Structure 1
Amino acid sequence: MLDWEHIFATRSSRMKASEIRELLKLLEQPDIISFAGGIPDPALFPAEEFKAAYADIFSSTQVNSALQYSVSEGYKPLRDWIVEDVAKIGIDCSADNVFITSGSQQALDYLGKLFLSPKDTALVTWPTYLGALSAFNAYEPNYDQLSLNGNRTPDAYRDTASKLGGSVKFAYLSADFSNPTGETIDRAGREKLLALADELDIAILEDAAYQNLRFDGEAVPPILSLDIARKGGIENTRTIYSSSFSKTLAPGLRVGFVIAAMPVIRKLVLMKQAADLHSSTINQIAVEHVASRGFAEQVAKIKRVYSGRRDAMLAALEKYMPKGTTWTKPEGGMFVWITLPEGMDGAELLAKSLATEKVAFVPGKAFYADGSNANTLRVSFSCANNEMIDEGIKRLGRLVAHASVSEHESLPII
């Protein structure tokens, strides 16, 4: 067999299989209660609305353009709709500032390619979205922990990046109900990030995939909105906002978008032209049909369901988790982040869980750029009903309690 390794580019060594993608295969096993995949519930997809949208497309002359090549920027009526929608949350922009991608994951890949040279530093939260790390890894960066509590100075970030052979290029974060923790950055934290980015002269990559999924609490303006207010207009901002219709309408259509100043958009368009030319035209048209006819109603529907499941999971954690275990209490999104007693390992716990309790989750270590904090895990409530949540957390709590006792018993007596 041919040895390919010496032929591959050096960047290929940074590409690793997604633990989440592998765990999604467990959804096909009927005996597994899965909290692993942070995916929307297919029962909540607006299937009839999409059926009507595609029927409208195929019953009109629009089908010709829907099945044809299209512009790399994206379908103009969809970009116009996005402009109107984000204006409600303080993002004042034009369609020229909106770029359609094949899901927000493609946006992360393009942005990594745009900003990162080998050895440059990306500032990320600890933990951070695993998909972002996977996207950025191909461009051979270093990572540094983004801290918004005032413990790090701009010079400290610069010095660390310089010693590693590059420069700080951007700060990436999911500010609302983040994947994996479910936590939200408050307004003060967002303002601190803008000040830090100005000092470092770097971009901010705002991943807003879950921004629409607030169940309770007071909404916080997007970072881009605050940046526009500070700078007097989007063309003066350094924040790049990305989102998608995957969590609100349907992920299989792969329609996402980026909102940014025109110099960034122009570069992204060139990347699109060199990669896949444009996102699916017919899917963009269908998304515009469905969104323009009832996006608010669809979002309200899924929020009612997911908020109930969030409440069920928090109640089950309170009921079944042993002392020494803590968890986040998100105001929206799809995730709860669990911190196990010190010394426990989420990956080892998963192996035991699949073998004995038949409960799947994602070990937390994968979400840390340095592979630390093994005593953490992520659970998602989006695809489990209340009964499954109660039973699954009951089993998981039993397993954690047993593992904690075993760990304690294995310690030497001094």
Structure 2
Amino acid sequence: MDWAQVFASRQSRMKASEIRELLKLLDQPDIISFAGGIPDPALFPTDAFSEAFADIFSTAEGQQALQYSVSEGYKPLREWLAQQMGEIGIPCDLDNILITSGSQQALDYLGKLFLSPNDTALVTWPTYMGALGAFNAYEPHYDRLDPASNRTADDYRATAEAKGGAVKFAYASVDFANPTGMTMDRRERQGLLDLSEALDIPFIEDAAYQSLRYDGEPQPSVLAMEIEKRGTIEDCRTIYCGSFSKTLAPGLRVGWVVAAKEVIQRLVLIKQASDLHSASLNQIAINRVARATFGKQVDLIRKTYSARRDHMLAALEREMPDNVSWTRPEGGMFIWVTLPQDIDGADLLAESLKTEKVAFVPGRAFYADSANGNGIRLSFSCALPDKIDEGIGRLGRVIRQTSAQT
């Protein structure tokens, strides 16, 4: 069987995630890894989940947890989310919320909903590689989304038309973005809204890290800003994607989408055709744990990750050569390091693994055009202080050695 002849054209756009591959290194005891952008499992509320699962199966709810359910998601969980959304300036009701299998599934569904082959998606440069992976299957082109640029809507529109399609949406993570760790200020967020309105397209707000602010001035959600202007979510173009993966438990794969009802209704149809509904048991357990411990859990994560971020920033200041720079995030899990132009992150990774046993994510994978190879992403969420000191010291050494050879 010649399988290649029957694969859909979109298959050629699907590529293995560099992060997924690098996660395999976590099982090697001699590797110091700053690669995986994953929560520290030592901080998971395991006792709360153990109690929740036991309670579920000690009541009639246990039968419900093992049964088919509605595609929109577990009603009590959506009720809790509606309350939480209201507290951050996003008043909505149950029909504005869809539960997904992590926010990654939400990105896939939104790509399926909006993109036809040769359409254009506007994304930041760099951007979350998982978003590129989700959108790639629908065969789009990409254009650079930069709220500080002077590009006009007409320019974006003409560029998309020249490529055989239309601009369909803008996508960004505006809080502690993966991979840079950077946060957009209110003026930049308003610029995204203004551009989206001028192009008459949706704006997809990836809020996976929104709860993980450690310092700095809190910024309003883009959807909250738009609701403040328009008065109701039903008149808004912003689509908010949230997740419990960074706060409670990534393994349970529970995320959510908040948007105008017309959008949610379309996404529900995609959900029904895709997997019917997210796992009932996981949703019920998340609902119980979120109601009991969410605030306490977020406080613990903020305290722990904030200290690790500070430790890594201090180590970078101490160990990096003068021709290397890096971001200073106010939250999240990541620091973006910019290397000299003549050092490629992928080449540096190969040398680092070979000689220093330090892992990180090369930056090229975060660019839709695979350019800008001199960036690397470091994650501090799972790094203990002694490993940060040792690993950043080794990384500084291999960068100096590589610089001397180029």
TM-score w.r.t. the length of structure 2 is 0.99
Residues 93-104 of structure 1 mapped to structure 2, 5 A cutoff: 93-104=92-103
Question: Which deviations, in whole Å up to 9, do the C-alpha atoms of 1:199-228 show, x marking residues without a partner?
Answer: 000000000000000000111000000011
The residue matched to 2:264 in structure 1 has which SS? Answer: helix
> 1:405: how far off?
1.3
Question: Which deviations, in whole Å up to 9, do the C-alpha atoms of 1:113-137 show, x marking residues without a partner?
Answer: 0000000000000000000000000
Residue number in structure 1 paired with 2:23: 24
Residue number in structure 1 paired with 2:265: 266
Residue number in structure 1 paired with 2:330: 331
CA–CA distance in structure 1, aligned partners of residues 80 and 360 of structure 2 = 36
CA–CA distance in structure 1, aligned partners of residues 263 and 113 of structure 2 = 9
> 1:3: how far off?
1.5
Residue number in structure 1 paired with 2:244: 245
Residue number in structure 2 paired with 1:319: 318
Residue number in structure 1 paired with 2:208: 209
Residue number in structure 1 paired with 2:61: 62
Residues 13-412 of structure 1 mapped to structure 2, 5 A cutoff: 13-407=12-406
Question: Which deviations, in whole Å up to 9, do the C-alpha atoms of 1:127-171 show, x marking residues without a partner?
Answer: 000000000000000000001113211111001000000000000
The CA RMSD measured in Å over matched residues stands at 0.5
List runs of 5+ in structure 2 lacking aligned partners: none
> 1:288: how far off?
0.4
Residue number in structure 2 paired with 1:412: none
> 1:402: how far off?
1.0
The residue matched to 1:190 in structure 2 has which SS? Answer: helix
CA–CA distance in structure 2, aligned partners of residues 247 and 149 of structure 1 = 29
Which amino acid is the alignment partner of residue 401 of structure 2?
H
CA–CA distance in structure 2, aligned partners of residues 286 and 233 of structure 1 = 31
> 1:232: how far off?
1.1
The residue matched to 1:338 in structure 2 has which SS? Answer: strand
CA–CA distance in structure 1, aligned partners of residues 145 and 191 of structure 2 = 11
> 1:33: how far off?
0.3
Residue number in structure 2 paired with 1:6: 5
The residue matched to 1:5 in structure 2 has which SS? Answer: helix
Question: Which deviations, in whole Å up to 9, do the C-alpha atoms of 1:76-123 show, x marking residues without a partner?
Answer: 000010111121111111111010000000000000000000000000
CA–CA distance in structure 1, aligned partners of residues 155 and 403 of structure 2 = 38
CA–CA distance in structure 2, aligned partners of residues 386 and 328 of structure 1 = 19
CA–CA distance in structure 2, aligned partners of residues 265 and 185 of structure 1 = 26
CA–CA distance in structure 2, aligned partners of residues 11 and 178 of structure 1 = 27
The residue matched to 2:5 in structure 1 has which SS? Answer: coil
CA–CA distance in structure 2, aligned partners of residues 145 and 236 of structure 1 = 26
Question: Which deviations, in whole Å up to 9, do the C-alpha atoms of 1:151-199 show, x marking residues without a partner?
Answer: 2111110010000000000000000000000000100000111111110
CA–CA distance in structure 2, aligned partners of residues 88 and 306 of structure 1 = 24
CA–CA distance in structure 1, aligned partners of residues 229 and 193 of structure 2 = 9
TM-score w.r.t. the length of structure 1 is 0.98
Runs of 4+ that moved beyond 3 A: none
CA–CA distance in structure 1, aligned partners of residues 265 and 87 of structure 2 = 25
> 1:262: how far off?
0.3
Which amino acid is the alignment partner of residue 10 of structure 1?
S
CA–CA distance in structure 2, aligned partners of residues 103 and 149 of structure 1 = 30
The residue matched to 1:243 in structure 2 has which SS? Answer: strand
CA–CA distance in structure 2, aligned partners of residues 157 and 172 of structure 1 = 14
The residue matched to 1:272 in structure 2 has which SS? Answer: helix
CA–CA distance in structure 2, aligned partners of residues 35 and 225 of structure 1 = 33
* Percent identity of paired positions between Structure 1 and Structure 2: 65
The residue matched to 2:178 in structure 1 has which SS? Answer: coil
CA–CA distance in structure 2, aligned partners of residues 326 and 31 of structure 1 = 27
CA–CA distance in structure 1, aligned partners of residues 352 and 135 of structure 2 = 31
CA–CA distance in structure 1, aligned partners of residues 230 and 343 of structure 2 = 47
CA–CA distance in structure 1, aligned partners of residues 321 and 11 of structure 2 = 42
CA–CA distance in structure 2, aligned partners of residues 370 and 192 of structure 1 = 23
The residue matched to 2:121 in structure 1 has which SS? Answer: strand
The residue matched to 1:199 in structure 2 has which SS? Answer: helix
CA–CA distance in structure 2, aligned partners of residues 233 and 366 of structure 1 = 38
The residue matched to 2:257 in structure 1 has which SS? Answer: strand
> 1:55: how far off?
0.7
The residue matched to 2:215 in structure 1 has which SS? Answer: coil
Residue number in structure 2 paired with 1:410: none
CA–CA distance in structure 1, aligned partners of residues 220 and 200 of structure 2 = 22
CA–CA distance in structure 2, aligned partners of residues 115 and 185 of structure 1 = 25
Which amino acid is the alignment partner of residue 50 of structure 1?
F
CA–CA distance in structure 2, aligned partners of residues 106 and 264 of structure 1 = 15
CA–CA distance in structure 1, aligned partners of residues 150 and 386 of structure 2 = 43
Question: Which deviations, in whole Å up to 9, do the C-alpha atoms of 1:353-405 show, x marking residues without a partner?
Answer: 00000000000000000011100100000011011011100000111111111
